[in-house]
Amino acid sequence: MTATDTLTNIERLKFADTTIDTSDLATAQSALVAGGWLQMQTTDGSGTITGETVHHADGSSDIYTSAITGKGYASEHDVVSAGGLTTLIERFFADGNLAFRQTANSDGSVDSTNYDAAGHLMQFAARYVDGSVDQFTFNASGSETSEIVRHADGSRDIYGYDIAGKDYTSQHTVNDSSGHSVLIEDFRADGSLTLKQTVDASGVKTLDQYDGLGHVVQETVTQKDGSVAQSSYASDGALTAETLRHADGSRDIYSYGIVGKDYTSQHAVNDPSGHSVLIEDFRADGSLTLRQTVDGQRRQDAGHVRYRRPGIFGTA
């Protein structure tokens, strides 16, 4: 029969010929015989065990902490290797359900999982030795709601899923290492694009919007000086309108495919205050039907000319 003695909250062991500090027991754990172990426990004032450390013969340790307050968990279990590396962390709710688990892998990567009180996986993250991170988030039904990939250079790919209340249900965003967005893509439930925005190295922003068949219906290009070129397209790809907003606030507005008029396209110019200073109407063959200008004194009749046919014109 083997007898086991348990020592609790003992700092020193005093014998007839010597006194042993219990901290030395940990440092001398390599002297344990194969299969042996050393167990040390701590208790609170009421005698409740709050901590336990088990040192194994191979130099590794299991550390248990209980009665934790002020945290989102009530107890913890850690495993420390013989080399002092924490290879496992487990945290538990008061009912014993797992709240968090982290493992260190042999390649240096670290995996961590978070759970809600009902035991549902809420988040999983993998961290790699180069500093990159892949993090997944889930809802209570187990569906993935987001993924964030942080690359070693600091840039990120961010994916969002199950988006409600928008004309898209998922989104992909790319941020550069400084945190600036360089790509945004919005997708419908069938996977088709509704929007794509890119920002190039010079800071020029291009925004494309798509219909349900994948056709570009509008493209907006914004320059660093604030000028904007916006083009609109029909479902067959034909250009229907183009607006050029210049850095000074003035605009050139082009309209195409006009029906029910004696012209099929129009060019209008608005000054920075929004007043029209030029209107030009064109037939299908490109010839002018009307040209109206407004001078600096806001006199509209200056240069108002209606063209009857090529080479012949009269004033209105």
- Per-residue pLDDT reduced to its tens digit, 153-168: 999 999 999 999 999 9
The set of residues, in sequence order, having a beta carbon less than 8 Å from that of 14 and lying 6+ positions away, is 20
Residue 32: what pLDDT? Answer: 46
Residue 50: what pLDDT? Answer: 80
Binned at pLDDT 50, 70 and 90, residue 48 comes out as confident
What is the mean predicted confidence (pLDDT) over 141-150?
A: 96
- The mean pLDDT of the chain is 86
**Poorest-confidence range of 47-61, 96-110, 189-203, 294-308?**
294-308
Residue 51: what pLDDT? Answer: 87
Number of neighbouring beta carbons within 10 Å of residue 91: 21
* Angle at CA of residue 41, ends 16 and 29, nearest 5°: 65
- The pLDDT of residue 306 is above 80: no
- The pLDDT of residue 300 is above 80: no
- Each domain of the chain, given as residue ranges in start order, spans 1-104, 153-246, 248-316
Which of 172-187 are b and which e, b meaning 16 or more Cβ less than 10 Å from the residue's Cβ?
Answer: ebbbeeeeeebebbbb
Binned at pLDDT 50, 70 and 90, residue 49 comes out as confident
What is the mean predicted confidence (pLDDT) over 36-63?
A: 80
What is the mean predicted confidence (pLDDT) over 192-218?
A: 96
- In angstroms, the CA 188 to CA 171 distance is 9
Q: In Å, how far from its chain's centre is CA 294?
A: 50
Instruction: Give the pair of three-digit tokens for residue 35.
Output: 């299969």
What is the mean predicted confidence (pLDDT) over 225-231?
A: 97
- The pLDDT of residue 41 is above 80: no
- The pLDDT of residue 254 is above 60: yes
What is the mean predicted confidence (pLDDT) over 76-89?
A: 95
Q: Thinking of the domain 153-246, which architecture would CATH place it in?
A: Alpha-Beta Complex (3.90)
Instruction: Give the pair of three-digit tokens for residue 296.
Output: 């600096």
Q: What is the pTM of this model?
A: 0.76
Q: Which residue has the higher pLDDT, 9 or 207?
A: 207
